[in-house]
Structure formats: structure tokens, C-alpha cells
Amino acid sequence: MKNINPTTTAAWKELQAHYDEIKHTHLTDLFKNDKRAEDFSILWDTFYVDYSKNRITEETMTLLLKLAQEVGLQEAMDSFFGGKKINATEGRAVMHTALRDESDNAFAKAEVDAVKKSIQTFTEKVISGAHKGATGKEITDVVNIGIGGSDLGPVMVVEALQYYKTRLNTHFISNVDGDHVMETIKDLDPETTLFVIVSKTFTTQETLSNATTVRKWFVDKVGEDAVKNHFVAVSTNAEAIANFGISPDNVFPMWNWVGGRFSLWSSVGLSIALAVGYDNFKGLLHGAFKMDEHFKNTSFDKNLPVITALLSVWYNNFFKVETEAVIPYSQYLHRLPAYLQQAIMESNGKSVDRNGERVSYETGNIIWGEPGTNSQHAFFQLIHQGTKLIPADFIGFKNSLHGEKSHHDKLMANFFAQTEALMNGKTKDQVITELQAGGLSPEAIEELAPFKVFEGNKPTTTILGEALTPESLGALVAMYEHKIFVQGVIWNIYSFDQWGVELGKQLAKQVLSDIDNDKMTSHDSSTRILLERYKL
């Protein structure tokens, strides 16, 4: 893998000069070219991705693609898919794509297939009722206990695929907040509940505390012998699971070459398979596999992860935008922004390059979002008329799942209208004409007009799918995964470690011990007083 500071490339310098030339160009002027939507769109599988409403020209894309070449994107992809240890600071390969690879020579195929088979067998037994609780009752509820990648992927997908749900109800406990634990289990019947403890390392404080509390609650009610029918675990750490008191027969393994935030395709997806059935889980993997193939085999100028990553770099490093929004026009996708926050920000929130040196340019984007149309009534004011430039991905589908056509037309009318309005804005002349039609006096119009002007020129990318299915969701998630990888390559950072998370873990342990032992003196005055007030 090349190790190149992107700012030293010829493309970077040309992009800088090009940016200075077009930074004030308005999208409405760019759209005087009628072929623009054709030139800047990609039709792939069931998706149509329109990136024409971005502040780009042919030259921008040529230069961005040149940047990808210069930093050695192709070579980096070969290392990634070839199983090289591209997660160098942890000495690991990054092989989550192997989990969905349908080819005969897939990496670790035998092991992966064996685990998939056990997920299938187990989930089918639970869903059919063949797997009974200890007192002979069928399982009705599943509780996933995990955090970070062991929670966000499963919860996002289970919410997204509610339409495809089996008879099982799925719940998620993640926060070490005891109220989260107790609120979730308070109405559950332990005799009909299955607990899935998910932790790649099986050392995470939140998950172990939550699992311990739940296990005790369970044992008090149903007894120790019942644990084997009601507790299963997903982890790489067999020893820690055994110490926790879950039998090896109830363990679904995963591997170190699967990063936590890329793990929903592994046994971490067990609660997904329980929630929507194994066939739908397979569909999810299949969609992701198709995206992997697209990413691997498509020239960069028509390659969705590459193009979307380059756009993001364009805004992040040249427009110097701080944040990007992801707005799904599907209530089912309401956890997608939260999921992407971990995937994107934990991966690319790095300030040291692959030489171990402080970068001199911006990296990781800040991601946020909420479903439309709700978000329109919340933060769209700022996107439309605030001082910040916020590129946004709009994700929507041609068909609703319940077939509520009149609702869907309204939803999608908003979807299309917003990107158009963000692009075009509204000029003062237009505002004045509108106000004149309302019969206001010329003075009142003059006074009010500035507040109703929209500058426009706000970039958006529209991702229009056919329908939200396991397959299309898998493809969408994989597109973002690869986008992350491409950005990491351009920024010359390690996208697959997460040392920044460790500090918080260590600090909390120390503070907990200080609280227990009344040892507040070692802290700064602010923290000491806060701790003392907490103990009062």
C-alpha cells in the first residue's frame, strides 16, 4: 500500500487552484447544461444515484479521480481484498467482505460457512418453536446485549427490516445505564426470553455489566440450570465466555479479522437472523456482496463508493465543510445515521497518518441526520438558511412496503422538493414577487424580503432505490463501508483501528475506583467537586 501525503500530489494542488476558480459558482448556473444529470449519475442494480446537485464540474471529477490514482487507491484495494494486514496498528487483515463473499475461493470459506450454518440451524429452531425455554415454553422475545459495533449494526438492521420480521420481538440493551437494562427487561417473561450476549472481545465493561445483571435477574427467577436454554454468546473470546457461565455449545464465534463496526455480517448478526429469519439475513449479505463486486470491478468514474468518497473529500478538504448529513426518507432507516456515525467517525476520526505523523489536512467527517420528513421540521432551517455548508445524502425508495401510495407520494414529493430547493434557493426578486401577490405594502415587502431569501447552492446527493429490502439495505451499507475505506486511503490514515476509544475506557475505570474508595483528591478541582457532589 502506498503511503502518500495527499497534499503532496499534483492532483491536490490542481484541485486547490480549481476550487479557487469555482468556489462561488452556483449550481443553478451549472445546471444550464442540460446533460448534467446524465453526466453525474450512476445507475447500479436497483439504485439510481444522482450526484449532479453537487458543486462539481467535469474538471472537478477528473481531478478527484486523478487524486485517487495518485494515492494508489487500486493498490490499496488489492491489499484490502487480498487479505493484507491493512489494519497495521493492530496487525490484522480486514476481511468483513469475506463474510458475504459468495465465490468458491472466498477467504476462510469453510469456517465462515460452518458458522453461517450454525446461525441458520439455531435461528430456525428458535423461530419454529423447536428450541424451547427451560420450562418448555417457546421463545417469544430476544434481547441483544452489546454496545458499539455489537449493537448499532444489529439494531439498525432490525429496525430497518421490521417489515420482514418473524414472530419474535427483538430488544436491545447497550448502555451501562441500569435504567436502560431494567426498562428493557421489566415486562419480559424470562421463561420465554432468549439473551444474546454480543462482544467481540468479551471484555467491554458495559456489555459484561449488563449481561451480569440480566443473568442474575434471570437466575433468581428461573434458576441456574435454565441458563443454557436462554443465554447464547457471540465473541472471539471463548475463555471469557466460559468464565461468564455460558456453555461452549451456545457460542457463535467470530474472528479478529472482522472489525466491530463492520461485524453485522458475522455472528454479530445473530439477532438480525432471529428477528427477520435466516433467508432475509442471507439477502442482506447478498446485497452487500453485490456491492463488493461493484466496488472491485467497476472503473472509478462509475464506482459508487469511489465517487461518493471523492465528493466527501472535495467538501471536507477544499470547501472545508465540518459536517455531512444523512437523511433517509424512510422511517425504517431511523437508526442509519447513528450506525454510520460509528462506522464513519470511529474509522476516519484520526489525526495521525500512516507514518505516525500529525496530518496537516482535515480527515474524518462529522456525520449526523434523522429521517425526512421529520428532520425538515427540526434542523432543515439551518441547512437552508444557516451560515454553514452541509452536504447531504438523501436516501429514498420508489416503493413503500405497505403500499400506502398516497403517503408515499407525499413523502417522496418532499424528498425531491428539498434537494431542488436546497440547490436553487430563492432569490430576492422571487421573494418580492411572491410578497407582492400577498398584497403587502412596498415598505413591508422591503423589510421582510431579506429573511425569506434562500441562497441555495447547497449540495445534495440523491440515492434512489427501488424498495427497502434486505438486499438493497445490504448494498447500501456496504456502499458506505467502502466509501469509508476510500476516504481513509486518500487521507493516508488507518481506518480500521480505534485507539481513541480506549482512553475513555481507562479513565472510567480509574474514576469508578476513586468513587468506591472516596479518593477524589487526585483530580482537578472541577472534577473533584463534581465527584464530591455526586457522593453527597
Of the listed 346, 350, 471, 483, which one is catalytic? 346
Q: Report in angstroms how near the CB of residue 260 gets to ligand G6P at its nearest.
A: 3
Whose Cβ is closer to ligand G6P: residue 157's or residue 435's? 157
Of the listed 505, 509, 519, 532, which one is catalytic? 505
Whose Cβ is closer to ligand G6P: residue 146's or residue 190's? 146
Long-range contacts: 258-261, Cβ < 8 Å, 24+? 258/95, 258/96, 258/99, 258/200, 259/87, 259/94, 259/96, 259/149, 259/496, 260/148, 260/149, 260/150, 260/200, 260/498, 261/148, 261/149, 261/152, 261/153, 261/342, 261/343, 261/346, 261/347, 261/498
Strand positions, DSSP E, 305-359 = 323-328
**Burial class of residue 507 in the structure, from the number of CB atoms within 10 Å of its CB (0-12 exposed, 13-18 middle, 19+ buried):** exposed
Of the listed 186, 377, 402, 535, which one is catalytic? 377
Whose Cβ is closer to ligand G6P: residue 413's or residue 501's? 501
Q: Report in angstroms how near the CB of residue 150 gets to ligand G6P at its nearest.
A: 4
Whose Cβ is closer to ligand G6P: residue 57's or residue 498's? 498
Q: Report in angstroms how near the CB of residue 199 gets to ligand G6P at its nearest.
A: 3
* Catalytic annotation present for 505: yes
What is the pairing mode between strands 47-50 and 141-145?
A: unpaired
Q: Report in angstroms how near the CB of residue 87 gets to ligand G6P at its nearest.
A: 12
* Catalytic annotation present for 346: yes
Whose Cβ is closer to ligand G6P: residue 292's or residue 346's? 346
Whose Cβ is closer to ligand G6P: residue 177's or residue 224's? 177
The CA distance from 489 to 481, in Å, is: 13
In degrees rounded to 5, what are phi and psi of residue 194? -110, 130
Whose Cβ is closer to ligand G6P: residue 53's or residue 171's? 171
Instruction: Show the cell assigned to 390.
Output: 452541509
Residue 435 identity (one-letter amino acid): L
Binding interface with ligand G6P (CB under 6 A): 147-150, 199-201, 204, 207, 260-261, 346, 498, 501
- Helix orientation angle between 58-70 and 73-81, rounded to the nearest 10 degrees: 60
Q: Report in angstroms how near the CB of residue 389 gets to ligand G6P at its nearest.
A: 30
Q: Are 418 and 454 in contact (CB under 8 A)?
A: no
* Catalytic annotation present for 38: no
Residue 193 identity (one-letter amino acid): T
Distances (CA, A) of 400 to 43, 45, 361: 20, 18, 42
Q: What is the largest CA-CA distance in the chain?
A: 82
**Burial class of residue 470 in the structure, from the number of CB atoms within 10 Å of its CB (0-12 exposed, 13-18 middle, 19+ buried):** buried
Cβ neighbours for 177, distance < 8 A, ≥ 6 positions apart: none
Cell numbers 468513587: residue: 515
Q: Report in angstroms how near the CB of residue 261 gets to ligand G6P at its nearest.
A: 5
Active site residues per annotation:
346, 377, 505
